[in-house]
Copies of this chain bind each other. A is one copy, B any other.
Amino acid sequence: MRYFEDLDVGGQESVGTYEVTESEIVEFAEQYDPQPMHVDPEAAEESMFGGLVASGWHTAAMCMRLLVEEYLADSGAMGSPGVDALRWHEPVRPGDELVVETEIIEKRPSESRPDRGLVRVDVGVHTTTGTLVMSMESLVFWERRTPDED
């Protein structure tokens, strides 16, 4: 079990991969982001993207799956209050394989809750061919092994 005390600012990890398929792009977008470039391969061909691309929220969701399975599993992570500076840099297309790279950029004990700290993680989603497609700074509440007794 990895606790708040075990995290180092500057610590980097890489998790993945997630294979992006056309059918999953369309299925996600039909439910949550039914715009032509996400759901209609022919219309997408005519669009500025030149083909079907994943909803940005789908890319975020695929990133989360990798983080849950390989980064947050067996850890003291207690959920997230939010995310800063979420950016979609390049389109994600069928056949892409996604890798997530993380770096801890800040950690501090919670002021109000002695059982946890707040950790800021820089998250980059890349294709295996080296393109950065999405980035964000994710905030995570993380359990302390030894609660503050002040």
Q: Would you call A81 and B85 a contact (CB within 8 A)?
A: no
Chain B residues contacting A9 (CB-CB under 8 Å) are none
Interface residues of A (CB under 8 A from B): 28, 31-35, 37, 48, 55-57, 60-62, 64-65, 68-69, 72, 78-88
Choose from B33, B81, B88 the contact partner of A65 (Cβ within 8 Å).
B33
Q: How many copies does the complex hold?
A: 2
Instruction: Give, as a whole number of angstroms, the nearest-CB distance from A77 to chain B.
Output: 9
8 contacts between A and B (CB under 8 A): A34-B65, A37-B79, A48-B78, A57-B57, A80-B88, A82-B86, A83-B83, A84-B85
Chain B residues contacting A88 (CB-CB under 8 Å) are 80-82
In the assembled complex, the Cα of A72 lies from the Cα of B55 at a distance in Å of 14
Choose from B32, B35, B80 the contact partner of A61 (Cβ within 8 Å).
B32
In the assembled complex, the Cα of A78 lies from the Cα of B68 at a distance in Å of 31
